[in-house]
Amino acid sequence: MAAIQESSTNSPIGKRTPRVDGPLKVTGKAKYTSDFHFPGLLYAVPVEATIANGRIIKLDTARAEKMPGVSAIFHRENIGKISRAVLGEGFEGITDERRPPFEDDVIRYYGQYVALAVASTFETAKAAADAVRVEYSKEKPNVDTHLKADDEPQTVATTFATLKRVQSERGDADEAFQKAPVKLDETYVTPAETQNPLELHSTTAIWDGTTLTLYESSQGVVNLQTVLAQMFGLPKENVRVITKFVGSGFGSKLFPWTHCPLAAAAARKLGKPVKLVVSRKMMFQTVGHRPRTQQRVRLGATDDGKLVSLQHDYVYTTSMLDIHHEDCGETTAFHYSVPNLHVEFGRAKRNIGATADMRGPGAVPGMYATEAAMNEMADLLKLDPVKFRVLNEPKIDESLGVPFSSRHLLECLELGTEKFGWSRRKPETGSMKRDGLTLGWGMASCAWIAARFPAEANVQLRDDGTVRVACATQDIGTGTYTILAQLAAEKTGVPLDKVEAVLGDTLLPAGPLSGGSMATGSVVPAVFSAADHAIAALMGIATKTPGSPFEKRKSDELTLRDGKVFLKEKDSAAGVPFADLLKRANVRLVTGNGKGEATFGDPKPKFSMHSYGCHFVEVTWQPEIARLRVSRVVTVIDAGRIINPLAGRNQIEGAVVMGLGMALFEQTAYDPQNGAPINASLADYIVTVNADAPQIDVHFLDYPDKELNEVGARGIGEIGLAGIAAAITAAVHHATGVRVRELPVRIEDLLA
Amino acid sequence: MKSFEFTRADDAAGAVTIAAKEKTAQQGANIRFIAGGTTLVDLMKLSVETPGQLIDINRLALDKIEPTRGGGLKIGATVRNADLANDATVKRDYSVLSQAILQGASAQLRNMATTAGNLLQRTRCVYFRDPAMPCNKREPGSGCPAITGHNRMLAVLGTSEQCIATNPSDMCVAMAALEATIHIQGPNGSRAIPIADFHLLPGATPHRETVLEPGDLITHVELPSPKVGSKQLYLKLRDRASYEFALASAAVVLEIANGSVTSARIALGGVGTKPWRSPEAESALVGQPANASNFRKAAEAAMRDAKPRSENGFKVELARRCLTHALETAAKS
Ligand SMILES: Cc1cc2nc3c(=O)[nH]c(=O)nc-3n(C[C@H](O)[C@H](O)[C@H](O)COP(=O)(O)OP(=O)(O)OC[C@H]3O[C@@H](n4cnc5c(N)ncnc54)[C@H](O)[C@@H]3O)c2cc1C
Ligand code: SF4
């Protein structure tokens, strides 16, 4: 068994490393986007549509415009041109809501921005926004929760690619299902969910005539830069995006939303910096949400528990104009061995804001359905659910016909079983008790894609002995500053406190999105090659500077370790600090650029690359008061090499807590009459609070996946949320005898 | 938020005189007292309340908890919920009140919230809290979208065809079971109103929530002398473990002698349009053996007139279980 190995050397990789930006955050010095202030700053507040379907007939801004302190009320006629962005090469130009704000008079979802009030104070802008009167011609919105796939061709355009709706197929799934001795045919529903990062979305836009500078709470500054250049017809280098700290995003900050060009357009018109902070209510309307999904899963198995057929047909909601793809089938085709398979999707348009990625898009709702079906099938077969999974473990990725780069799901299951004490489980529902409570035990496995976005980085070695690593990626609270510093420290051997990590600025080398759990894996090759190039420059100086102790040596005879240059055959005690070599040569710094290519979207990969894991869950149940609580979770994750176990554990624990919310609380409800997200506040949209957090026990296997990068690190941001809801619903069934197939599991479902 | 004038009252009579100029003490009042501000400021930010004038009453020296001559307890209007819940006498003699407050809101909110403010907290109905929506309570005659819409949190007892909004207070439920009296200083002198008569049913006038008239200032709440040896319990049921309003709650004050219930005061929260005292449950219990089947019968009696809507039907059974369990647990204590 591979436990996490703390390197015997001074390597920072794999060391429990407190956040390098921690002190800034706990002392309040970390500046989040809305913390930036500028002279002459104006405040913008959008006016939102109060219908979900129809047209603007009349917009009366007269009263608002006359209010003291109001700079302007912008709308379609006076905001100036805002063009569309389109997808280009290299994951740039992406928007989930493709229609630029104010493009036409049609209202397609509740809360759509129809005007923008700008004033000298936030309060005035809000009062002015409230004073704008809008007349609509109104039609009944379609927010129907029952989903039937729209009539669409078999091949459809989606945000990243044109996709076949039958996304994977082998054998004859239907026939095999019909003939299967044991069959399961159930439909699972997940509701619309809203990401709700604690930090509100916000933009501060500054135009100096030629350059647009934008402070934005973003998970992808490089993409945002491209989008804005397209929207305002600017050379890319005339747009600068800055995101120093992000109070989390959960996917909602991956791609730009309409508030962002609105703030920029207002700043352009007014010639003054404009700040726009989206309200919590708008967070439910205009910055994306996880679509509702309805997933039919059909499983056929032999009596002894071998899967013979797997069919996964799912439908999800999209907004009227957009094409976000919720890939619920992402893991279905490879996760288990099954000869006959069919995975197909459809979409159902609704009068709702654009759907978007939310932590673990696709696989999280998808694996809720498939793993819940696996649990139900195990019950039908009277097989232990762990054993059922072991029986159907694939040898290769049967959908692509290629080997897995590194898959240790069986070991995850083994370790989880042991740590949880699973062998003591009694299968009968309601049969386990403790302290007067009924216990329910359930489990599920999980998987999440491992891939790389393109990434560039720069590393400098400086004559004061410090190292600077720079990359235009973001730290959305997950610890990317620390990872960058660890990677640079690994290559140069200087201690972490001598490494300066810089990110979140498009002036830096283009970095990856903080999404898909790919930021870490993507920056590894970029930072490593940048460091190699900087070190090569250093060696050049060491060997060429007159008077250098290494003068006349060849570069390849030298090496850099622990911040010192020395001859390979000698040990580091005999080395010379690189700072001394630089100073002696009168060189302030050496620099190296590095680059990593994308693997994401590769149509013919040599390996199937994913992370894996499993969750074991205990719930307590008190039927006398219909009280259900999650008391204990054991999660085992196989995510390659864990660069920072402290931050890694934190990610998994957070995902488990969020998964509890997905299983039991979270749901965005749309008013059937007017189409508004009706529980649009943190009081009415129930998320997990501290008191709900169970005892969480996280274990990592630590098998480096060298196919992905030199360190062997895959991502860990999302995998923890996959599967957990299915483990919880299985535990709920085990405790209560009630099978809930529509999330969240609510008190009313269990009262019967 | 609309601009407003803010003044600090130094004496109660002055505050009453200013507020008496207003036409109503109900929804839409232009002059408002402000205590902790946790309800009022919240609603002002949402533009649900748009008062032009706020009178801060925090300096009126209404922040004491004192014994009364009759053996009861006088609780000042601006006593903070946290101080009330942690008061030694309250914890000993009126523990149901302490329990109720501590299961409500959060520590920070309880540090600000006051006795009178809590008595007057407003419903959490999502339509009420959004001025873009119709709502009879906020805008009389505009309609009630909740009846056919999002009503999972809303009331099943005391509703009307004009409004089904829940009174969300935990404190008031305990006070109803303790038979508190609310003391008011108004332009025409002082008066005392039993809590059962203080809140109004919505009927055809859901915008009228209490008997308060313009100028009326709550000065204190009085609790009668404690029922020595009574068994008291507050049980609150909700989706998550903390920081959420009740789906159903129960406050019980029971006296049991020789295995029989000699007196019972029972109130329910989360299910009524006002803090819901249940004489039906009480009379089903008094004189009966304190056992599980009688507790269940009392709970059934309490919910007999419940009128469920599209999403909140489960509250009927949930409230029954809540009350049954509260009675059982109290009886065992
Ligand atoms: C996020 C959140 C969660 C909450 N959760 C819960 C919960 O779980 N359970 C619960 O019970 N409550 C909960 N509350 C409500 C909270 O208890 C109330 O907001 C609080 O008790 C109100 O007291 P206050 O002093 O702040 O009132 P204020 O906001 O100051 O006043 C409220 C109203 O009372 C009037 N008023 C105040 N004092 C007087 C007086 N002396 N005479 C006449 N009128 C007066 C004001 O004019 C105003 O109209 C929650 C509140 C929030 C914001
Ligand atoms: S239930 Fe009452 S508060 Fe809610 S919308 Fe109807 S009238 Fe308004």
Res. A8 pLDDT band, cuts 50 70 90:
very low
Would you list the DSSP string of A264-301?
Answer: HHHHHHHTS-EEEE--HHHHTTTS--BPPEEEEEEEEE
CB pairs under 8 A between A and B: 79
Burial class (CB in 10 A: 0-12, 13-18, 19+), A267: buried
* One domain for residues A502 and A582: yes
Q: pLDDT exceeding 90 applies to what percent of chain B?
A: 99
In this prediction, residue A574 has a pLDDT band, given cuts at 50, 70 and 90, of confident
Q: Are A508 and A400 members of one domain?
A: no
∠ CA A294-A300-A305 to the nearest 5 degrees? Answer: 120
Q: Are A603 and A434 in contact (CB under 8 A)?
A: no
State the Cα–Cα distance between residues A702 and A611, nearest whole angstrom: 11
Rounded Cα gap, residues B114 and B217, in angstroms: 13
Q: What span, in angstroms and rounded, lies between the C-alpha atoms of A497 and A671?
A: 53
CB nearest to B150's CB, from A665, A669, A751: A669
| Residue A404 shares a structural domain with residue A521 | no
User: For residue B1, what pLDDT band results from cuts at 50, 70 and 90?
Assistant: confident
> Which tokens sit at A237?
């280098």
**Residue range A625-653, pLDDT digits in tens:** 999 999 999 999 999 999 999 999 999 99
pLDDT band at A4 (very low <50, low <70, confident <90, very high): very low
CB neighbours of B118 closer than 8 A, spacing ≥ 6? B81, B101, B169, B171, B172
* Confidence bin at A1 (pLDDT 50/70/90): very low
Q: Cβ distance B137 to B165 under 8 Å? A: yes
Strand partners, B93: none
Does A542 lie in the same domain as A504?
yes
pLDDT reported for residue A7 = 44
Count of CA atoms in the C-beta half-sphere (13 A) of B28: 11
pLDDT value, residue A571: 66
Using the predicted structure, report yes or no on whether residue B160 has a pLDDT greater than 90: yes
Both A498 and A634 in one domain: the answer is no
Q: A366-378, pLDDT tens digit by residue?
A: 999 999 999 999 9
Candidates B103, B108, B109, B239: best to mutate against A (most CBs of A within 10 A) is: B239
Per cent of chain A over pLDDT 90 is 95
Q: What is the mean pLDDT of residues B211-233?
A: 97
CA dist., res. A728 & res. A633, Å (int): 9
Report if residue A624 sits inside a domain.
yes
**Distance of alpha carbon A251 from alpha carbon A194, whole angstroms:** 10
- Whether A158 shows a pLDDT value over 70: the answer reads yes
A692 interfaces chain B, CB cutoff of 8 Å? yes
Q: Is A695 on the interface with B (CB under 8 A)?
A: no
| HSE value, Cβ hemisphere, 13 Å, CA-based, for A345 | 26
pLDDT, tens digit, for every residue of B8-56?
Answer: 999 999 999 999 999 999 999 999 999 999 999 999 999 999 999 999 9
Query: B128 CB under 6 A from ligand 2?
Result: yes
- Rounded average pLDDT over B63-82: 98
Alpha-carbon distances of A683 from A665, A671, B132, B153, B266, rounded to whole Å = 12, 17, 18, 12, 28
How many CB atoms within 10 Å of residue A40?
Answer: 11
Q: How far is the CA of B121 from the centre of ligand 2 (A)?
A: 15
The CATH number of the domain holding residue A690 is 3.30.365.10
Overall residue count recorded for chain A in this entry:
752
Q: How many CB atoms lie within 10 A of CB A552?
A: 8
Q: Using CB atoms and an 8 Å cut-off, which of residues 119-148 of chain A contact chain B?
A: 123, 126-127, 130
List, for residues B19-28, the tens digit of each pLDDT value: 999 999 999 9
Residues in CB range of A77: below 8 A, 6 or more apart = none
User: Which of left, alpha, beta for A196 (phi over 0: left; psi -120 to 50: alpha)?
Assistant: left
Q: Which residues of A touch B144 (CB under 8 A)?
A: none
Domain for residue A502, yes or no?
yes
Which of A533, A561, A596 is the C-terminal boundary of a domain? A596
> Could you give the CA distance from residue B319 to residue B307 in angstroms, rounded to a whole number?
13
Inside any domain, residue A102? no
**Is residue B56 within 8 angstroms of chain A, CB to CB?**
no
Residue A529: which domain range?
A: 452-596
Nearest Cβ partner of B314 from A50, A676, A747? A747
Residue A573: pLDDT band with limits 50, 70, 90: low
Alpha carbon distance B186, B19 (integer Å): 9
Catalytically annotated residues of A: 718
Q: Are strands A576-577 and A589-596 parallel, antiparallel or unpaired?
A: unpaired
Query: What pLDDT digit, counting tens, does each position of A209-251 carry?
Result: 899 999 999 999 999 999 999 999 999 999 999 999 999 999 9
Asked if residue A620 and residue A690 are part of one domain, the reply reads yes
d(CA A710, CA A707): 8
| Domain end point (choices A596, A621, A645) | A596
CA-nearest residue to B317 within chain A is A751
Residue among B183, B120, B156, B111 nearest B276 (CA): B156
What is the pLDDT at residue A570?
75
- From B128, B156, B199, B309, give the residue whose CB has the most ligand 2 atoms within 8 Å, as the site to mutate: B128
Q: What percent of chain B has pLDDT over 70?
A: 100
State which of B152, B163, B207, B209 you would mutate to test the pocket of ligand 2, scoring each by most atoms of that ligand within 8 A of its C-beta.
Answer: B163
At A9 the pLDDT is 62
Helix (H, G, I), strand (E, B) or coil at A639: coil
In a domain, A242, yes or no: no
Is the CB of B241 inside 8 Å of chain A's CB atoms? yes
Tell me, yes or no, whether A615 and A751 share the same domain. yes
Per the omega criterion (within 30 degrees of 0), is the bond before A273 cis? no
- Give chain B's radius of gyration (CA, Å): 19
pLDDT tens for residues A294-335?
999 999 999 999 999 999 999 999 999 999 999 999 999 999
Domain boundary among A563, A596, A629: A596
CA gap B316, A327 in Å, rounded: 40
Is residue A439 located within the same domain as residue A462? no
Mean pLDDT score across all residues of chain A: 96
pLDDT at A73 over 60: yes
Q: Which residues contact A430 (CB under 8 A, 6 or more apart)?
A: A438, A734, A735, A736, A737
| Residue A323, in any domain of the structure | no
- The answer as to whether A621 is a domain residue is yes
* Residue A272 forms part of a structural domain: no
Residue A2 has pLDDT above 60, yes or no: no
3-state helix, strand, coil in chain A (%, to 5): 30, 25, 45
Alpha helices in B10-168 (DSSP H): 12-19, 40-45, 81-86, 88-93, 95-102, 107-112, 115-119
> If you average pLDDT over residues A263-278, what whole number do you get?
98
The count of domains in chain A is 2
Question: How far apart, in whole angstroms, are the C-alpha atoms of residue A616 and residue B107?
Answer: 33
Same domain, A482 and A586: yes
pLDDT one-digit tens code per residue, A694-718: 999 999 999 999 999 999 999 999 9
Place of tokens 């500046």: A31
Q: Do A589 and A662 have their domain in common?
A: no
Whether the complex's predicted ipTM surpasses the cut of 0.95: yes
The pLDDT assigned to B114 comes to 98
Report which of B219, B215, B218, B222 is spatially closest to residue B186, judged by C-alpha positions.
Answer: B215
Separation between Cα atoms, residue A165 and residue A313, nearest integer Å: 10
What are the Cα distances from residue A230, in Å, to A364, A455, A488? Answer: 33, 21, 34
In a domain, A437, yes or no: yes
Q: For residue A561, what pLDDT band results from cuts at 50, 70 and 90?
A: confident
Domains and CATH numbers, chain B: 1-57 (3.30.43.10), 231-332 (3.30.390.50)
Nearest to B149 among A625, A627, A673 (CB): A673
- Ligand 1 atom with least separation from CA of B42: 53
- A554 and A565 fall within a common domain: yes
Residues A623 and A589 in one domain: no
Locate all alpha helices (DSSP H) within A329-384, ordered by sequence: 332-335, 363-381
Q: At what angle do helices A519-544 and A480-492 cross, to 10 degrees?
A: 30
Q: What is the mean pLDDT of residues A152-159?
A: 97
